[in-house]
Every structure is written in structure tokens, then in C-alpha cells.
A and B are shown apart, each in its own frame.
Chain A
Amino acid sequence: MLLTKRIPMKVMQEKGRNMRNSTISIVGSRKTKRISETIAHHIFTICAFFAVLGVASITVYMIINGTPALAKVGILELLFGSDWSPTAANPRYGILYVIFTSIIGTTLAILIGVPVGVLSAVFLADVAPKKLVAVVKPAVELLAGIPSVIYGLLGIMILNPLMYRLELALFKGSATHQFTGGSNLISAVLVLAVMILPTVINISESSLRAVPDQLKAASLAVGASKIQTIFKVQIPAAKSGIITAVVLGVGRAIGEAMAISLVAGSSVNFPLPFNSVRFLTTAIVSEMGYAADTHREVLFTIGLVLFGFIMMINTILTKLLKKGNRNDD
């Protein structure tokens, strides 16, 4: 089986597989070669189809289950109503506050998490001595592996009592504020911000490391300080990677349910910092257990709204990312 010319990777892998089976060889004859080629081609097609099937079936399922309630309740009342009382004698299914909470909560978490994450990445990639990197980097990677329910438990045991103290101090004697025991928007945002850190740090760091050394050297050579080089040369050069980190961070933040359902309080309120709030994800999770009929269908619609949001954010941010790349060229 001497190979005399360069063969594509695909065939190489196929050949590797066929080694076990000595009767089929790519150079055996014209016929067997064609068989292995076709088989490989089909396997790749099927694998690719598998992922598409996943997305397609989820989309179809969400649309089939999410749309009936839209018609029943009315799209305007559902999306722009602010009264959520699904089990009342005269049920109301307004999810406006829930949508606001998801948008505002995610935005705030990104505003806190991304700067911290990107600067940590700069620290790891450029500033920190090697020994320190050896300690910090595994810690960050470990953070990524912690299940979200653990974040929630820490939130309920540590963050909420601290928030409650702050709440008691701030709203002492207030007649209008409803005390929530520290389960509020701020707690949820803080937990989300910590949860997106590992994603942002890891991806930003590798994109910073991928910036060619010549750029850094050139900047330093013309007299820029180290900090100037980082902010004016390295971060702009790693822009596309950092945007990817933000996209994934947004995805993680908007889709998180478990941790927030423990710390956010889950009452449907306008998302003010010290109000107990409900996100799109927690709205589904918390009521799915016993919901029936229209109530249940509306929960599927909330899922559809969430799905729509994620799709929208992904498309918009990916477009922005591509645009950014073009400008770089």
C-alpha cells in the first residue's frame, strides 16, 4: 500500500478505518476505491444532516406547540400585557415584565461580566507571570465546569442574605417597598455575570494569544507603553474573538434557568434592582409542573419567545462580527 501521491484527508481517514479490514483497500482496485469513497461520502452527509435535523425538529416542535396560545390569548395581550395571573378565575397571560427582565438582566450581566472577563483574559495572556497563570487558568477552567445549580445554591445561601441586609438598610421604614429577603434582580445579575466569566475569559484569552507577536513588537518598538499596546493594538486585533466570546456569553446568560430560579424570587414584577423578578427561562421552569390547558400552552409560547430571542441575538451578533472582520481586512 505505497502512496505515491498526496491524497485528501478524507480518504486518509477512510483508509485508516479500512486497515482493520484487509480485504478492502483504496488502491486495491478501481471498484473498491469507489465503494469506500461513496460510503465515506454518505457517512459525512448523514452526520451533517444529524445536526440540522436537531435544529429543524426543535424549531418545528416549538412552533407547533407555541403558536396555539398566541391565537387563543392574542399576540398583543401576551407580549405587551403586564398582568400575569394564569390561574385566576379570569386568567391573564401578559409576559411583558418577564421579557423586560430577561433583556435587562442579561444586558446588565454582560455589562459586568464582559469587562471583567476580557481584562482577566488580558491578565492571563500578557500581564501575569507564568507561575501565576498556572494557578489562575485552571481555576477559571474549573469555574466553567461547576453545575449551574451550585451557583444557585451559593446565591441563596450567601448572596441573598447579604442582599437582604442591604435591602433592610436601604428601604428601612419604606411603606411601599415589598421586602424580598434578598431575592432580587441584582442577585440574579451577579450570579449570571459570574457564570459567563469562564466562557468570556477562555475565548478572549485564546484570541489574544493568537494576535501575531510582530504587532505587539512593532507597537512597543515605536515607543508605546505596555498598557497602550494592550488597549490600542492587541485588543483591537483580537476583536473578532472577543465578540464571539460576548455572543456565547449572552447565549449562556439568556438561557440560564436553574441558578436564577433559586436567587431571583420568581415573582412577576417590573425589573427594578430590588424587586423579585422572573426571567423567560424561570417562567417556564417554575410553572411547568402543574400547569394545564391554556396555561401550559402559554408556557410553550414563552419558550418560543425565548427561542426567537436567542435566534435573533445570534443572527445580529454574528452579522456584527462578520462586519467587524471585513473592516479589519
Chain B
Amino acid sequence: MKKNITRMLMLCMIPVLALGLAACKNNSSVDSPSQSSSSALSGKITMAGSTSMEKLSNSLVEAFMEENSSVTVTAEFTGSSAGVESLLADSVDVGNASRNLKDSETGAGAVENIVAIDGVAVVVNPDNPIEDLTKDQLISIYKGEIADWSEVGGLNEPIVVVGREAGSGTRGAFEELLEIEDECQYALELDSTGTVVAKVASTAGAIGYISLDMVDETVKAVKLDGVEASAEKIKAGDYFLSRPFVMATKGEISEQNELVQAMFEYIYSDAGKELVESVGLIAVD
């Protein structure tokens, strides 16, 4: 009987503990340094920059710290420009930017190291005869200025504008690249790539955008300005709905300390490429 009471008490403690853990979770964005000293490398790397690169940076930090247990990598997500600024001010080792570096930035000594490419595909229903859209047409469609496919040379059918929820990385990339942030008139804001694909596949007049690697045969990816959405075209720089993910360093990688060099070695290795692809990005050669 006494045992039962202890057990009951312990059961009562569980929600309290869970509550405590949940409260802690919000604050612990960065893992604490590991104590093991078996690895050759040890020290600290700091990164700051693009919020769009959060997923990539976090996976990289996790994987790299697992390989080198005495290295601590911290990543902050302050925005591309702020990231490069902190790099140039010597407050971080690596500045993350989800765009090409500006001339003013490279002039000040920042070196552009492209680690991955983010591509967004525009998809329509397979029954839609539209094959090609121009940048202006795409902008007009998403701003709600064009509401019927006949206005862009398609069938006489209303356009159902499908997008992602606020905060989604794909939505951020799409709106940023077309420079239509907060101007989109979405009919539907769906909360996952899967739902966007399902909706576009089942609705005749729908148009949506998804990560390039998520395109499947149930939807049709349209050409943009005559360029088809493919990893090759994106790498060649012809496809406009794509952006580089840059991890900028002050000076060439070879001039960095051995920790930063090791991290870049890891990113460009096969394991690193796998990691890049696992977060839905295109790896660079």
C-alpha cells in the first residue's frame, strides 16, 4: 500500500515536471558545451545571420558538434545583413546570408562561400494547359491583380491562389525573391508542403509554390521566364526563384582558424551534402 502511495505521488509529479521542462525549452536554443576532450579540435565557432537559414544552420551545428564533441558552435538568427555586419565587425566567425553578398560587403573583406541553394517551384494542376509564366505574371497572380487563367493565355477558369502560412521558409523565400512581401492575396494558406501539393492536385485552377525537391507527378511545375525548374538550371543561375545560402567569412576560408576550416570541410564533404539535401536544399559542387 505504501508503495502505491509513493507511486501515486510520483504520477502527480509528472505534469509538474513536464511543465517545468516545457518552460525551459523556450530558452535552450543552443546546446551546452560538451565536456569530452578526446577530439583533436576544441573551441568555439560563432555564427549569425539569415533567419531563412535557421534549419540548415541548426542541422549543421548539431551534426558538426556530434563529430567534434569539444567544439561548440553557436548560431544566432538576426537577418542576412545583420549577420554580415557582425562578421565585418569581428563579433562572429561566420555570417549567414540568404542572398548574394553586396559589393559593399565584399569590398569590406567578406568572402562569399555558397554552401547550398534554395529553389522554389511554382506548381499547377496537371490538367492546366499553362506551361510557362513570366515573373510579372506570377507577381500579378499572387497580388490578386490577375484572377483568371485566360488573362495569362490559359483556360477560362478562376485562379485559386494557394500559399503557405506566415513564418514558413518557403513563403519567405518566394515573397522575398519576387519582392512581394506582405502584398500577397492568398485564397488559401496551408500549413505544409504536402497539403499544398494535395490541394493543387485536386483543384483545377489552383497555383501553389513548394520546395523544388517536393515536386511530384501529381502536380505540374511550370517554367518561369521559359526556364524549367530543375537543380541544373538553378545551379546555372537561370531560374529566378532561387537564392544562394551563403556562409560568409572575413577573408578566404584558408585564412580562417582551423575550427572554421574544419566546419567548411564538413559542409563540402559528402556527409555535408547529404545534410544540405536533407533540409530540402540543393547542394553545391
**Do A and B associate with each other?**
yes
| Cβ of A156 to closest chain B Cβ, rounded Å | 7
Contact between B12 and A53, CB atoms less than 8 A apart: yes
* Residue with the greatest number of chain A CB neighbours at <10 A, chosen from B19, B23, B188: B188
Stretch at the interface among B161-169, B224-232, B245-253: B161-169
Interface residues of B in 140-195 (CB under 8 A from A): 144, 147, 158-162, 165-169, 172, 181-182, 185-191, 195
Contact between B202 and A180, CB atoms less than 8 A apart: no
A161 at interface by CB-CB < 8 Å: yes
Interface residues of A in 46-88 (CB under 8 A from B): 46-47, 49-50, 53-54, 57, 60-61, 64, 84-88
> In the complex, what distance in Å separates the CA atom of A42 from the CA atom of B206?
62
* Residue with the greatest number of chain B CB neighbours at <10 A, chosen from A160, A164, A182, A267: A267
Contacts of A292 in B (CB 8 A): 51, 167
Contacts of A84 in B (CB 8 A): 166
Question: Which of A43, A179, A183, A295 is B8 in contact with, Cβ under 8 Å?
Answer: A43
> In the complex, what distance in Å separates the CA atom of A266 from the CA atom of B144?
17
Contact between A261 and B181, CB atoms less than 8 A apart: no
Contact between B187 and A276, CB atoms less than 8 A apart: yes
A53-B12, A61-B22 as given contacts; A39 in contact with B188, CB under 8 Å: no
In the complex formed, the residue of B with least CB distance to A171 is B158
Contacts of B158 in A (CB 8 A): 168, 171, 179
By size class, the interface of chain A is: 35 or more
Contacts of B190 in A (CB 8 A): 266, 286
> In the complex, what distance in Å separates the CA atom of A39 from the CA atom of B191?
51
Contact between A286 and B202, CB atoms less than 8 A apart: no
In the complex formed, the residue of A with least CB distance to B172 is A87
Contact between B5 and A286, CB atoms less than 8 A apart: no
Contact between A89 and B181, CB atoms less than 8 A apart: yes
In the complex formed, the residue of A with least CB distance to B199 is A181
A312 at interface by CB-CB < 8 Å: no
Contact between B206 and A295, CB atoms less than 8 A apart: no
Contact between A266 and B188, CB atoms less than 8 A apart: yes
Contact between A88 and B181, CB atoms less than 8 A apart: yes
A49-B12, A57-B19, A178-B147 as given contacts; A161 in contact with B160, CB under 8 Å: no
| Cβ of B145 to closest chain A Cβ, rounded Å | 12
B271 at interface by CB-CB < 8 Å: no
| Cβ of A60 to closest chain B Cβ, rounded Å | 8
Contacts of A49 in B (CB 8 A): 12
Contacts of B15 in A (CB 8 A): 53-54, 57
Interface residues of A in 187-220 (CB under 8 A from B): none
Contact between B205 and A265, CB atoms less than 8 A apart: no
B236 at interface by CB-CB < 8 Å: no
Question: Which of B161, B182, B199 is A88 in contact with, Cβ under 8 Å?
Answer: B182
Contact between A295 and B202, CB atoms less than 8 A apart: no
Interface residues of B in 203-227 (CB under 8 A from A): 203-206
Question: Which of B8, B165, B172 is A286 in contact with, Cβ under 8 Å?
Answer: B165
> In the complex, what distance in Å separates the CA atom of A200 from the CA atom of B3?
42
A157 at interface by CB-CB < 8 Å: yes
Contacts of A171 in B (CB 8 A): 158
| Cβ of A260 to closest chain B Cβ, rounded Å | 12
| Cβ of A311 to closest chain B Cβ, rounded Å | 19
Interchain Cβ contacts under 8 Å between A and B, 23 examples: A39-B5, A42-B5, A43-B4, A46-B8, A53-B12, A57-B19, A85-B182, A86-B167, A88-B181, A161-B202, A164-B204, A178-B147, A179-B158, A181-B187, A265-B187, A276-B188, A287-B166, A287-B167, A289-B191, A290-B167, A290-B168, A291-B166, A291-B167
8 additional contacts, CB 8 Å, given A50-B8, A179-B187? A46-B5, A53-B15, A87-B166, A87-B182, A182-B203, A262-B195, A267-B186, A267-B188
